Structures are given as structure tokens and as C-alpha cells.
Amino acid sequence: MTQLRLPLLLVGEPVVLPGMVVPIELDDAGQAAVDAAAASADNTLLIAPRLEDRLPDYAVLADIVQRGRTPGGEPAVVLRGRQRARLEQGVSGPGSALWMEVAPIENAEPDDETTTLAAEYRALVLADLQRRNAWQVVDSVNRVSDPSALADLAGYASYISDSQKRELLETPDTKARLRLVIGWTRDHIAEAEVSEKIAEEVRAGVDKTQREYLLRQQLAAIRKELGEGEPEGADDYRGRVEAADLPEKVREAAMREVGKLERASENNPEAGYIRTWLDTVLELPWHSSTTDSTDIPGARAILDADHHGLDDVKDRITEYLAVRARRAQRGLEVVGGRGSGAVLVLVGPPGVGKTSLGESVARALGRKFVRVALGGVRDEAEIRGHRRTYVGALPGRIVRAIGEAGSMNPVVLLDEIDKVGSDFRGDPAAALLEVLDPAQNHTFRDHYLDLDLDLSDVVFLATANVVESIPQALLDRMELVTLDGYTSDEKVAIARDFLLPRQLERAALTAEEVELTDEALRLLAADYTREPGVRQLERLLAKALRKVATKLADESGPLVIDAADLRDYVGRPRFTPDAHERTSVPGVATGLAVTGMGGDVLFIEANAVDGEPGLTLTGQLGDVMKESAQIALSYVRSHAAELGIADVSVLDRRIHIHVPAGAIPKDGPSAGVTMVTALTSLATGRPVRSDVGMTGEVTLNGRVLPIGGVKQKLLAAQRAGLTTVFVPSRNEPDLDDVPAEILEALTVRPMGEVSALITAALEPVGSNEATPENAATAA
């Protein structure tokens, strides 16, 4: 291959390919290269793109066509690219130009594949030129027969970037270059077709809009000549507002919006927003209210017929009715007055009838009932509504509930109020503060309506599972009514009077075809479900009746399901009393706790192992419960003699306290006395009585402090088969709320000192007693 020595001209742009004729503005280095080339015999130089970090690998042999100056007076030259060449090395030469030794690259003879690729590229280029009506260039392209020269024509294409042109320069193989430009040209044509389609659609849309505008103007003129009004337009809304029974301020606001609608053109998007707002205002029942029932005994009878027990709630509703009836008799009702609404929050575990109680309250009052589900609501606008400036704006759930009820004084049930969350969109619980405050909600303002709405006559009922999850400011505006769950006798009565008739109807059975005895219902409630409510109990009844329906399809005659028959209908019992088994070894005590699902028993296990003295806690315990364990261990160590611990060396080993059901998070101080009892049992080797449960916070001095949820804990103790429960002395007044049957079934012993509790809770000395040496391993 012939080696040539030529001056090199580096340019930032454009990228020159063989066959291209381009003008180049020269700097000092470029001027030196052109001068050196002009001084040579063949008037040739190298031109290549300038790179930031190195010399390029390829250049183009170019002939100087013309030298001159730009209109601005700068030196310039016109070059014609001739042939690719590979740069080999720098060499010395005359002048200040950069001289390079290069190897020219000859194009291979075209084969069939090359000819095919060239024809495909030529067709794409001609199609693009014809689409743009560039007919003057078509002949020039058709005259190019060499495939390599045809590929290099891409240097003139505006849609190919400089980096792509450099890639073409550095691709000496003709086939590879043709494949590159074919791909780029296809992409360009596809993109151009999409752009043209979009532009055509935009033009068509604009033309259609203009045409519709002209037609509407002509139609309006024709209607005006005929004396006809706009159908369903501003005139229609003006008549509807004037005919509607609206409060004065609401009427003024509505008429202002009607005026805006009359001035707005049909193409103004605000016209649609105004119509939607007016429709919402006109649909609200501004002066529609139901008359409350004044039959107090009748209302109480409705509550008793719908729900068993729940006397606190029924008493509160009955009191509310009685006061309203008395105020009505004496003419003391004030329309839109403050404080006339009732706000109750029903807190209790699932399945005790909180939600269904709202419907019963509405029936007792003779009011409409609306349920608003708040579980998972995180947007403040769900309560207060969206501003009308937002696309898709809607009034809040309170306003929608009023509209749905068709009355200004419905019973609104705010379900799962403890499940309300907050995020960057605001805090819905904070928006509920005004809604649920009887002193403020007579002027509640929804963001969408932007009008005062009187909610003072609405009866709000809220439901929650956990009172601690309700913000304190919100809880302060409501009256708290606690539903702690049902006793075994109450569950049997509910199943017999409410659940069984409902499930019989759903299974298409009658009481003559199947009978469940009270013993069967009691066993279902005791050994098949351990829940404070009756939801799971109803599911089991439905399961049993489905099997009954299947049997009656093959057999005839009534079926009686007794306790002994339950295994055939609902399977084996899921729960059996296990406190005796769990506490048969020292170091295990039975505590009582309250969760979101109601009361439950909590076994606490203590063990001593070899290792560095200290305390290990397991069972996914919260910080407060961990501190209770530290306090319990400190108390037992400091009062070992008083607690009857003969050998304190057990407490000097590594103590491990575990609370089973490790997958469930646990926290709270009420397990303090249980931990002290478990540690004392471990150290003395005396097991804890299997029939004993306990609850209470303990101090470092051994005092038993009061706790919450006494009723739920006693219900859980009764369900678990315990007979004796130790509670703090200061919780003794809470026993007044516990049903009499629970107090009869349990021996409740108030305790002020944990030492006295331990003395009564541990098995007597000598009965199944283990020695302190093997107490750790026994546990």
C-alpha cells in the first residue's frame, strides 16, 4: 500500500466525508496546513475531525478547490473530499503545519450484497426527498452509482449527527456503512411520519374547533331570531336556582356562579366546572330533615331487638333521645344552634357490633343512615373536599354523605376512625376536628362548596378498635363508649337470637329442620373461637348449616346438633385450656393483656442458663415491656429473702425471659407482676398455680400500679379457663363494669403489694416443688 506524507487540517465541524465539497473557515493551524498543501505539487491535504484527547484514526484526502475569505474577512477554503486514509504516524515537514504519514484506503469491488444494500438505501433516500418535495436533489442521487460514494452522501443529511458522521468516516467497509445509514434513515423517516401525523391531527382539531365555533355562533343567532333560549344552559340554571329552596347566602353564591356561567363562552372549560358546582349545590337537601322519634321506650326496644347487651351505648342513645324530646316539648330547639349534635366513638375489638349499631341508632331515631369508611384515608381533601381549581375536584365525604342521605340530620357512621393516616397530602384526622366539634360544626366549610354547612343536627358515630390510635385532640371532641366484648352466656344468647336465624335464612333452612342446642353453642363459643366478638362464631354456624343442607339433600327429618356432634360439622376444637400444662414447671406465669383483637392470655417464661450474668429478652417486646423485665429482675434480686428464695445463685446466672408468640409485637407495663412471679417461681422452684392469671404494673419497691382494660382481661381469663385473677387494688372500682356472671365465674383478688400476690400465686411449699439447683433446667 502506498504511503503518503501530507499536512493535516483538524476541524471541529463539519465532518467531511469522501465526495463532499465543503467550505472551511481557517484558524492559524488550518492556514498553515492549507499553505503547505498549496506549496506541494498535487495541492492535496488531509482533513479530519478534531478530538479532545487524541488524534483521529482516519482522515479524508481532500483537494483544495478554492481559497478566499468569508464575508467577515476571515480566511477560508473550499475542499473536496476524495478518499479515506488511515493515519499512521506524525512526520516532519516544511512550515508550521502538522504532517502525517497516511495509508489511503481503496474501496473493494461491489458484490451482490453490496449492490442490494445500496439499492435499499437509495430507495429510502429518494422516498425521504420526495416526501419533502426536494426534487432538485433526486437527480443528483440517481447519478451516483458507486455504493461507497452513495453511503458517503449521508454526510449531507441534516438528520445525521456529527458523531454518526465520524462513525461513518471510521467505517471503511462499504457494507457496514450502508447498514448504518439504512438504519438511521429508517428511524428518521419513522419519526418524521409520526411528527407529520401529530401535526395533521392538531391542524384538524384546530379546524374543527373553529368550524364548531362558527356554527355555534350561527346557531345562537338563529335561536335569537326565533326567540328561543339556550337549552340546558345558563338560563336553565338561573331558573333552577330561583325555584330551589336554598338558604339566603347559598342562593346569593349560586346566583353569582350563574352570572359567571352566562358570561362564559361555550368553549371556556370553566363553564363545565361551574355547572358541576351548581349541580352539587342544588342536589344538597338544604331544608330537608327527618323528624326524630319521641317514643323513648320504642327506641330502646329497637336497640334491644337489634343488639344483645351493649347497655352503655343504649343508655347513652336513649338519654340523647330523651333530652331532644324534652327540648322540643319546651320549645328550646334552635335551628343551626351550637352543641345540639351528639358525637360518640365506639371503641372495641372486631366483631362486637360497632358498625351495625349505627344502623340501629338511625332506626331508633327515625333518621337516615350513611356509613363513611375512613380506613386507609390519607388525603385531607377526602374530608374537606378539593379546591375547585383542581381538575376532577369533588366535595368531601361529609358533604357527599349528606347528599346521599337526602337529609340534613342523618346518622353518619365514621367507620374505622383509628385507621386514618397522614402523609404529604395532609392529615385527615385534623380535618375531622371541626366536623366532630359540636361547638364548631354548625359552620363547617367544605373547600369545594366554599359555603357554610350546618352539621350541628347530624348524629356522628365513630368506631375504632384501639383508642390509643385516635389523636388526643380528636378524642377530646367525642364521648368514649367502650365495647369490651361478650361473655360466654352473651355469645350463646346472640347466637341463638340473632346469628342462627340469619344463617338459617341464608342456608334456606328452617328451625323445624335443624336445631342447635345451647350446649353446642356454648362449646362453639368456648373451644372453637376465642374472640371478644361473634364474627368467627357466625362463620362456624354457617359452616355447620351448609353441612346440614348437604345431609338433608340425602336424608329426611329434622336434625339436632348437640355438643358431641360438632366435630362432624365443624371439625375438631381449635382451642383447649393449656394453662395447666404451660405452668406445670417453675418459671412460667400466666399474664393478661389487651390487644387490638381484645383481651388475651400471655404466658411469660423465665429460665437461667450458664454464661455472663445479665438479662436476655425475646418475643418481640417493646421498650416499655423490656423495662418492666429489668424492674422485675431488680426487685426479685433485692427482695430475695422476703420472697422465700433460699439460693440466690440462680439469679446470678444469665436470666432469659421469653414471651411466646414471638411473631406478634408486645408492649406495655401491665406484665410487670407476671414477670416478677415467673422469676420468683424460677428461683424458688415452686410452680405457679395453673388456675391463676394476673395483671398489673410493678415498681422497684414492689407496689402494684393500676392498668387499663380490666374488663377485657377478665373476659379473656374466663375464656382461657382460669378461675383466679389478681388485679391491682386501685383497679377495684373498674370491677363495677364487669358482668356479674364473670365475677361469679372468677375469683378476682385486688393486690397492692407484689409480694402478697406471689405468696398467693405460687403452689404451696412441698407440693410439686423443685430444688433451686434444678429450677433453671425445669423451666
Whether residue 563 is contained in a domain is answered as yes
Same domain, 366 and 434: yes
pLDDT at 75 over 60: yes
On the 0-12 / 13-18 / 19+ scale of CB atoms within 10 A, 309 is buried
What lies within 8 Å, CB to CB, of 89 at 6+ separation is 100, 101
Same domain, 583 and 565: no
pLDDT at 633: 92
Model confidence pLDDT, tens digit, residues 662-721 = 667 778 888 899 999 999 999 998 999 989 999 999 999 999 999 988 888 898 888 888
C-alpha dist (Å) from residue 456 to 297, 337, 339, 344: 25, 7, 7, 14
| Domain, as residue range, for 19 | 4-104
CATH code: domain of residue 8:
2.30.130.40
Residue 150 domain flag? no
501 and 468 in a common domain: no
**The pLDDT of residue 657:** 92
Cell for 163?
458523531
Q: Report yes or no: 459 and 342 within 8 Å, Cβ to Cβ.
A: yes
**Number of domains the chain is built from:** 5
Same domain, 468 and 337: yes
Binding site annotation covers 348?
Answer: yes
Tell me: do 529 and 647 sit in the same domain.
Answer: no
Of 72, 67, 22, the C-alpha closest to 47 is 22
Q: Cell digits for 210?
A: 373553529
Question: End of a domain among 570, 601, 632?
Answer: 570
pTM: predicted TM-score of the whole model, two decimal places: 0.60
CATH number at residue 519: 1.10.8.60
State the pLDDT at residue 452.
85
pLDDT at 634: 92
- According to the annotation, is 78 in a ligand binding site? no
| 89 is a domain residue | yes
For the beta carbon of residue 671, count every other beta carbon within 10 angstroms. Answer: 31
Range name among 257-271, 443-457, 458-472 with the lowest pLDDT average? 257-271
Mean pLDDT of the chain: 83
Active site residue 670: yes
Among the listed residues 314, 491, 711, 713, the single catalytic one is 713
Tell me whether residue 611 is in a domain. yes
Instruction: State whether 458 and 370 are in the same domain.
Output: yes
Q: Say yes or no: 716 and 752 in one domain.
A: yes
Task: Give the active site residue among 148, 670, 681, 690.
Answer: 670
pLDDT cut 90: percent of the chain above it? 13
Residue 153 has pLDDT above 60, yes or no: yes
Neighbouring-strand partners of residue 69: 75
One domain for residues 761 and 642: yes
The verdict on whether residue 81 carries a ligand-binding annotation is no
Q: How confident is the model at residue 533 (pLDDT cuts 50, 70, 90)?
A: confident
558 shares its domain with 645 = no
pLDDT at position 341 is: 55
Task: Answer whether residue 189 is part of any domain.
Answer: no
H-helix or E-strand containing 112? helix 112-131
For the residues 635-660, what does the mean pLDDT come to?
Answer: 88
In the sheet that holds 343-347, the strands lie side by side as: 369-373, 411-415, 459-464, 343-347, 479-482
pLDDT of 728 higher than 90:
yes
Question: Residue 173: CB partners within 8 Å, gap ≥ 6?
Answer: 108
**713 annotated active-site:** yes
pLDDT tens-digit profile of 389-400?
787 788 888 888
Flag whether 668 is marked binding.
Answer: no
Domain co-membership, 398 together with 533: no
Q: Among residues 69, 104, 139, which one ends one of the domains? A: 104
Cell of 454: 350546618
Q: Is 350 annotated as a binding residue?
A: yes
Residue 555 inside a domain? The answer is yes
The CATH number given to whatever domain includes residue 432 is 3.40.50.300
Based on the domain organization, do 428 and 302 belong to the same domain? yes
When mean pLDDT is compared across 183-197, 546-560, 664-678, the lowest value belongs to: 546-560
* Residue 135 domain flag: no
587 is in an annotated binding site: no
SS3 212: helix
Amino acid at site 715: L
What is the rounded distance in angstroms from the CA atom of residue 729 to the CA atom of residue 600?
Answer: 21
pLDDT (tens digit per residue) in 362-393: 888 888 999 988 887 877 788 888 887 787 78
What does the DSSP assignment read for 443-462?
GEE-TTT-SEE--TT-EEEE
Q: What is the mean pLDDT of residues 33-54?
A: 85
pLDDT in tens, 731-766: 999 898 888 888 888 999 999 999 999 999 998 876
Pairing of strands 724-728, 704-705: unpaired
Q: Is residue 320 part of a domain?
A: yes
Closest-CA residue to 102 (of 58, 151, 139) = 58
Q: pLDDT tier at 724 (50, 70, 90 boundaries)?
A: very high
User: What is the widest separation between alpha-carbon atoms in the chain?
Assistant: 125
Question: Which of 482, 503, 518 is the last residue before a domain boundary?
Answer: 482
Do 561 and 616 fall into the same domain?
A: no
pLDDT in tens, 160-184: 888 888 888 888 888 888 888 888 8
